[in-house]
Amino acid sequence: MANRMKTKLKLFLMTITCAAASASATQPDVKAAVDAAIAPLRTQYGIPGVAVGITVGGKHAFYNYGVASKTAGAPAVDSETLFELGSLTKTFTATLACRAQTSGKLSFDAPASQYVSALRGSPFDHVSVLNLGTHTTGLPLFVPDSVTNDTQMTAWLRDWQPPGPIGSRRVYSNLGIGLLGRAAAQSLGVPFRDAVQNDLLPAFGMTHTWLDVPASSMPRYAQGYDKHDAPVRLHPGVFADEAYGLRSTTGDLVRYLDANMGLAPLDAAWQRAIACTHTGYFTSGVFTQDLVWEQYPWPVALPTLQRGNSPDALYKGMPARALTPPLPPQAQALLNKTGSTNGFSTYVAFIPGQQIGVVILANKSYPNEARVNAAYAILDAIAKAKR
């Protein structure tokens, strides 16, 4: 008996030693892949700073490059540097809307005007809440230049006429997601900002994510640069909070991806909300349109991912086909989202069934295709290291 126990213990220790050796051997491979993916971006596009966060089975690693500002003496980028997230913000709005929907306070089938009362008697009597969250309203991407406040926005929306049948085309829209956020907040009986900052973000353990950056966190806020290298930061406009206004860190965002993959503690209500955001409601082009998230079967070829994140997919409308019934959340799928402001670039992608995800934040605007290429190479290296 004693000999058998000793033999089992020896085998167990050998297994642990081999596993540790394997982990230590693959980690440099992942780092080399991240280095190889990020270095050309910084060189080609003149990006001052890039922060990369990866999560593998809920374990995190961070790779940081450059500085938070070109100003002399600026701090190096790290996992607590604040970046503007741009349209990744939309996924938080979608999560809040799904929290309202799964709790019975918001109906995706109801007309948007049921929750945004100022739009009653307008075309939004015939636009569903689901249309808002899936970019199938026909609304344009940007708020018109002539609109600078909510009163003007309401007047513009009341006069707007759909360019075609509602639900027939996917047209990526800040306005649609802005209205989704307003509808969700109205149904919850809480101002949108309060719902995000006081409810959603704490539930996800995101303590360094802000719609308004407090004075105490301003030293961590990176300086952004536009395509001409001019310093720029976000100037909020109508629907900024709902569509593109969050600032966050790689440290917080890998926790966000963990929550989206079921690897972080969330109460049941928020878990249901996550599942709702991962549900496929339309197909459009090469991807399935979830509630804001864009989904691809895994494995997916790089050219397919590039097409789904191309300028055409962003700026041009594409035919959309409703999925009836909707597609339940898929474990073997890649979900992704880009985000941009004039001076910052974001890309996140994760694969729930593989329990891997990547976040890339930069303090300069650069093309989506380059972000996708870098993230794909990193995910490929992570997947190989897991084998």
User: For residue 6, is it within any domain?
Assistant: no
Strands (DSSP E) contained in the chain are 49-56, 59-66, 83-84, 169-170, 224-225, 231-232, 247-248, 280-284, 287-289, 294-297, 318-327, 333-341, 344-351, 356-362
DSSP secondary structure string for all residues of 183-229: HHHHHHTS-HHHHIIIIIHHHTT-TT-BSS--GGGGGGBPPEE-TT-
Q: What is the pLDDT of residues 258-311, one digit of tens each?
A: 999 999 999 999 999 999 999 999 999 999 999 999 999 999 999 999 999 999
pTM: 0.93
The average confidence (pLDDT) of the chain is 93
The verdict on residue 247 lying in a domain is: yes
State whether residue 318 is helix, strand or coil.
strand
DSSP summary character for residue 332: S
pLDDT for 11 equals: 32
Q: What is the dihedral of CA 110, 111, 117, 119, to 10 degrees?
A: 170
How buried is 217 (Cβ within 10 angstroms: 0-12 exposed, 13-18 middle, 19+ buried)? middle
**Inside any domain, residue 7:** no
Which whole-number Å values give the CA distances from 120 to 53, 106, 158, 178, 239, in the listed order? 44, 17, 9, 17, 19
Q: How far apart are CA 254 and CA 52, in angstroms?
A: 10
**Per the domain annotation, does 101 fall within a domain?**
yes
- Residue 172 CB neighbours (<10 A): 21
The 3-state DSSP class for residue 66 equals strand
26 inside domain:
no
In a domain, 23, yes or no: no
**Closest C-alpha among 213, 202, 356 to residue 265:** 202
Residue 13 vs residue 72, higher pLDDT? 72
Number of domains comprising the chain: 1
pLDDT digits (tens, 9 = 90+) for 85-125: 999 999 999 999 999 999 999 999 999 999 999 999 999 99
For every residue of 282-316, DSSP letters joined together read EEETTEEE-SS-EEEESS--HHHHHHHTSHHHHHS
Tens digits of residue pLDDT in 196-232:
999 999 999 999 999 999 999 999 999 999 999 999 9
* Rounded (10°) CA dihedral 188, 190, 193, 194: -110
Domain ranges, residue 73: 31-386
For residue 9, the one-letter residue type is L
pLDDT at position 385, please? 86
Of 142, 69, 82, 178, the closest CA to residue 314 belongs to 142
Task: Write down how long the chain is.
Answer: 387
Please report which helix (H) or strand (E) contains residue 336, including its range.
Answer: strand 333-341
CATH of the domain at 286: 3.40.710.10
Q: What is the pLDDT of residue 384?
A: 87
Provide the pLDDT for residue 387: 75
| The pLDDT of residue 19 | 30
Kindly list the catalytic residues: 87, 172
Distance, CA of 372 to CA of 349 (rounded, Å):
9
Residue 1 belongs to some domain of the structure = no
Residue 7: pLDDT band (50, 70, 90) is very low
pLDDT at 326 over 70: yes
How far apart (Å, rounded) are the C-alpha atoms in residues 74 and 204? 30
Q: What span, in angstroms and rounded, lies between the C-alpha atoms of 377 and 385?
A: 12
- Distance between CA atoms of 99 and 102, rounded to whole angstroms? 5
